[in-house]
Amino acid sequence: MKPILQVRNFWVSSGNLSAVRGVDLDVFPGQKIGLVGESGAGKSMFGLGIMDLLPFGWDAKGSAILGDVDLLALSEKDHCEIRGRQVAMVFQDSLSALDPMKRIGWHFKRIVSRGSADRAGEWQDIAFEILTDLGVKDAGVTLRKYPHQLSGGQRQRILIGMAVAANPKLIIADEPTTSVDTAIQRNVLDTLTAATNKLGASLILITHDLALVANYCDTLAVMYGGHLVEAGSTREVLDKSRHPYTGALINSHISLSRVISKQLKTLPVIPGMMPSLESMPTGCAFRLRCDRAVVACEEIPPLLNAEGRSLRCWNPK
Amino acid sequence: MEPVSTTHAPLVSCENLSVSYRSPRTGLLGKGGRFLALDGVTLRIENGESLGIVGSSGAGKTTFAKVISGQLRPSAGTFEFKGTDPSLSGKASRGDFQRAVQYVFQNPKSSFDPRIKIGNALIEPLLSFNIEGDHVEMVMTALGTVGLDKGIYSRYPHELSGGQLQRAAIARALVVKPRLLIADEPASSLDVSIRAQILNLFRELGNSGGLTLVLIAHDLAAVAYTAQRLAVFESGRIVESGLTLEILKNPQSDEAKRLVSANLAIF
Amino acid sequence: MRKRNVPVSVWFGGSITLFFLLCSIFSLFWTPFDPNFVDTTKTSLGFGEAGHVLGTDIIGRDLLSGLLAGAKMSVFLGCVTATISVILGTIFAFIAVGISPWVDEVVMRFLDILMAVPGVIVALVIATVSGPSALSTVSVLSVFFAPVIARVVRSATIPLLNEDFVQSARMYGRGKAFVLFRHVLPNILSVLVVQFSLYSANAVLAESGLSYLGVGISRPQISWGTLLKEAQETVGPTTGLMLWPATVILVFVLGLNLLGDGLRDVMDPRSAGRKS
């Protein structure tokens, strides 16, 4: 099976600073990848880099082939063709992703008309259908509302609907549940994965929450300090993580069941914090906090891909 | 549902607490309604216990925290701290109340005046409450308790990370030696690996005795890890309360069941 | 904290302002001639004649000395008016925000009324009653600038009051006034500095206008507006007597405005292009 997106040696930099340093990733049709990392790891910049939506002063390098189109070689005009049609993005802050002065229906109208001119006339039916599929009750009423009149969870579903409206092949969701209640999180993610499945599309879920990936993604990719440090099938990586940071991240997660069974005495702590872009250490980014660091770690370990697993570590477990 | 209180009086006693807000008018001719943020909350908090407050957003957790920390006056019902209603007492005992109840805010970055060094920010409450003693010494001790380097004293807030700032905020609350510490979502804006540090700190503080802890969180697991007792809020009411482990193993109310099932596990 | 690029306007505007500042200090010690010295033998001289670099007016007073003396007055008036306006404006804003929403409403509407009154008319009235002078000019201008500054200070203050560190200070017993002066004021200093420079410019412009109408400064005190008035009355608008004061006003006000705008760009993190 050919991947719909092939990313090789992807860098996102601004002058001397690099937020993403050499990421390799393959996205296959129907695959759901959870891109996990803490703030500053570069995961959001990766998503923005793929979409060419980087903030002023930041550029992407390397190769990102969508189908047979080199995304980095596209002009802005050509990229506009791709965005929203073949690749769609669901943003974190639903309130600022929507125009506060326009009704929900207006947002859909624009997207559907853009998708194809002949569908433009039926935008209302299409939007209605999408919203109903997403579980929005009274879709007709919702289409006439303004963004601020809806709850966070409803708005997130609108964003998902907008992403899905143009039948994209790839959906990139950047922290879609951060501004939403924990209780609604499941709801939003159920909606997102159902919509993705219906389209037969692929999903890149960017998040800091390992639990979300554990429950909704078949592939887990972990980022730290701009590097992709480990990737592979979710179950495999979680059960037998090899990179020390992945292990530490898994241990930081509070398991309710372990608390209940009183097995959790103290949460293990990773000393220090993720280095900022300006103070990134030479060699492996995690080196200074790692309890398995060796002399070799002063050189950046290569990203090795074997048997569906990727790993960037000199001294893995 | 509520464990029977012991022979001495509870630290905090809330009876039928209600807080209502006037909601804005709908249109020029519409009538504004009243919005009940808290609807008859009754709760006792004993000395030395650590209580967790959970519920979805809008359930009234923060409103409740504001009432028991003195930031908000209830529209109805009574709130007593150490047996007396702080809003009825004179200036002196109001000062005692403010000193005995300390608050840690959710967002560490806005908890500190960007123009004031951390050390000076921590001395402020000591000055304001006219507490005697070697202020610098007391601040250094507090910094040590939360695991911060003494050098933090002369740094500015923007030089500290989110985790460090939150710990400084906790230190500021501890420096006046309060009886009750209320923390509103103290770890939710922090990175996962830093969250562990903060939650461990709270767990220690709760276990050390002498300090009563009220922790508000929407993350059930975080609260479960740090609090012995739990109060589940929904639509301004407490729908379930009791020992944390009991509720987690056997949730009775719909809301508690919903919260438990919404929790996602890794394995 | 990353260093932001200091925009050109700060350097440019700053240099102009500095230049005039130096001129006014300079003129305290020495001017080519006594600006008020009437010399009927040397009237209406042109450029460079008889040692008068810019010529003389219709009764022989040196123009350059007049300009220098005027600079002194303008800089002085500009600074004093701006200072008083900013202080008054800040006090109004703090009173409005710090007491209660009701007081806020009352104060802001009062300021609205103040702004609706035409300043020139009031200046005329006061001038008629007490005679035109530096004091009357400064007072009138300050009172009319203060409401606008109050608005700006108020909108800078309100978001700060919602910050947790303000709530925190209140919770460990600090009064509202303490919080305003200890926590809010230092954090809005940049706003005040910008307002100060912009309103110095406005003050100079306004004063020139008032003096031109005869209700501001009058001889023996000299301001650029006074010079304009005299030029217009005696010779007409096409001579150097008119053009020099006008140009000088233009350049100084431009410099102050550039400086204010530039400072605002430097101090307000939102307006500078920033990496997220």
Scanning every residue of chain B, which has its alpha carbon at the shortest distance from the alpha carbon of C159?
B110
Scanning every residue of chain B, which has its alpha carbon at the shortest distance from the alpha carbon of C1?
B158
In sequence order, what E strands does B82-149 have?
101-104
Range in A18-22, A68-72, A114-118, B188-192 the model is least confident about: A114-118
Give the mean pLDDT of chain A: 89
**Sheet (strand A5-14) strand order:** A17-27, A5-14, A59-66, A69-70
- Separation between Cα atoms, residue C20 and residue B211, nearest integer Å: 64
Which residues neighbour B207 within 8 Å (Cβ) at sequence distance 6 or greater? B50
Which of A14, A56, A58 lies closest to C273 in CB terms? A56
Q: Is the pLDDT of residue B114 over 60?
A: yes
Burial class (CB within 10 angstroms; exposed 0-12, middle 13-18, buried 19+) of C150 = buried
- Separation between Cα atoms, residue C33 and residue C91, nearest integer Å: 43
pLDDT score for B95: 85
More confident residue, C276 or A291: A291
Chain A CB contacts of C276 under 8 Å are 55
A179 interfacial to chain B (CB closer than 8 Å): no
Chain A CB contacts of B56 under 8 Å are 181-184
More confident residue, B134 or C268: B134
The ipTM value here is 0.84
pLDDT score for B2: 47
Confidence at C173, pLDDT banded by 50, 70, 90: confident
The half-sphere exposure of A37 on its side-chain side, counting CA atoms within 13 A, is 29
Interface of C with B in 30-69 (CB under 8 A): none
Which of B69, B110, B158 lies closest to C171 in CB terms? B69
**Mean pLDDT across B151-177:** 91
- Separation between Cα atoms, residue A101 and residue C224, nearest integer Å: 50
- Both structure tokens of C255: 């410099």
**β-sheet bridge partners, residue C56:** C62
Could you say which DSSP state residue B11 is in? Answer: S
- Separation between Cα atoms, residue B215 and residue B49, nearest integer Å: 11
- Separation between Cα atoms, residue A290 and residue A299, nearest integer Å: 14
Q: Are C24 and C3 in contact (CB under 8 A)?
A: no
Q: Are B169 and B182 in contact (CB under 8 A)?
A: no
- Both structure tokens of B225: 């890890």
Q: If you search the block for the tokens 């993720």, which residue do you land on?
A: A274
Chain B nearest CA to A215, separation (Å): 7
Chain A nearest CA to B144, separation (Å): 16
In sequence order, what E strands does A49-195 have?
59-66, 69-70, 87-90, 170-174
Burial class (CB within 10 angstroms; exposed 0-12, middle 13-18, buried 19+) of A307 = exposed
The CA-atom distances, in angstroms, between A27 and each of A30, A60, A64, A88, A203 are 9, 18, 11, 14, 8
Interface of A with B in 259-298 (CB under 8 A): 259-260, 262, 264, 266-270, 273-274
Chain A CB contacts of B191 under 8 Å are 38-39, 208, 273-274
- Separation between Cα atoms, residue A221 and residue A225, nearest integer Å: 13
| Radius of gyration, CA atoms only, chain A | 20
Chain B CB contacts of C160 under 8 Å are none
Question: Could you read off the pLDDT of C218-260 as tens digits, one per residue?
Answer: 777 888 888 888 888 777 656 777 888 888 889 999 988 888 8
Chain B nearest CA to A287, separation (Å): 16
Question: Could you read off the pLDDT of B63-99 as tens digits, one per residue?
Answer: 999 999 988 888 888 888 888 888 777 777 888 888 9
The CA-atom distances, in angstroms, between C90 and each of A269, C104, C229 are 48, 13, 34
Smallest CA-to-CA distance from B265 within A257, A183, A205, A241 is with A257
Q: Are C67 and C78 in contact (CB under 8 A)?
A: no
Chain B CB contacts of C172 under 8 Å are 98-99, 124-125, 128-129, 176
Scanning every residue of chain A, which has its alpha carbon at the shortest distance from the alpha carbon of B57?
A181
Question: Could you read off the pLDDT of A220-266 as tens digits, one per residue?
Answer: 999 999 999 999 999 999 999 999 999 999 988 888 888 888 777 78
pLDDT score for B26: 58
**Sheet (strand A202-207) strand order:** A87-90, A170-174, A202-207, A32-36, A219-224, A227-233, A309-311, A304-306
Identify from A56, A96, A174, A279 which residue to disrupt to test chain C contact, counting C C-beta atoms within 10 A and taking the largest count.
A56
Which of B112, B128, B158 lies closest to C165 in CB terms? B112
pLDDT score for A265: 76
C169 interfacial to chain B (CB closer than 8 Å): yes
Chain A nearest CA to B98, separation (Å): 31
Q: Is the pLDDT of residue A113 over 90?
A: no
Which residues neighbour C109 within 8 Å (Cβ) at sequence distance 6 or greater? none
The CA-atom distances, in angstroms, between B249 and each of A36, A114, A128, A257, B3 are 30, 52, 42, 9, 17
Smallest CA-to-CA distance from B171 within B134, B203, B198, B208 is with B198
**Mean pLDDT across C15-26:** 86
Q: Is the pLDDT of residue A5 over 50?
A: yes
B113 interfacial to chain C (CB closer than 8 Å): yes
- Separation between Cα atoms, residue B210 and residue B95, nearest integer Å: 20
Scanning every residue of chain A, which has its alpha carbon at the shortest distance from the alpha carbon of C273?
A56
Burial class (CB within 10 angstroms; exposed 0-12, middle 13-18, buried 19+) of C167 = middle
**What is the DSSP secondary-structure string of chain C?**
-PPPPPPHHHHHHHHHHHHHHHHHHHHHH--SS-TT---GGGTT--TTGGG-TT-B-TT--BHHHHHHHHHHHHHHHHHHHHHHHHHHHHHHHHHHHHS-HHHHHHHHHHHHHHHHS-HHHHHHHHHHHH---HHHHHHHHHHHHHHHHHHHHHHHHHHHHTSHHHHHHHHTT--HHHHIIIIIHHHHHHHHHHHHHHHHHHHHHHHHHHHHHTSS--TTS--HHHHHHHHHHHT-TTSHHHHHHHHHHHHHHHHHHHHHHHHHHHH-TTTS----
Q: Are C68 and C31 in contact (CB under 8 A)?
A: yes
Dihedral angle computed from the Cα positions of residues A84, A89, A95 and A100, in that order, rounded to the nearest 10 degrees: -10
More confident residue, C121 or A90: A90
**Mean pLDDT across A173-178:** 88
Smallest CA-to-CA distance from B53 within B200, B177, B227 is with B227
pTM, whole model, 2 decimals?
0.82
- The separation between the first and the last C-alpha atoms of chain A, rounded to the nearest angstrom, is 31
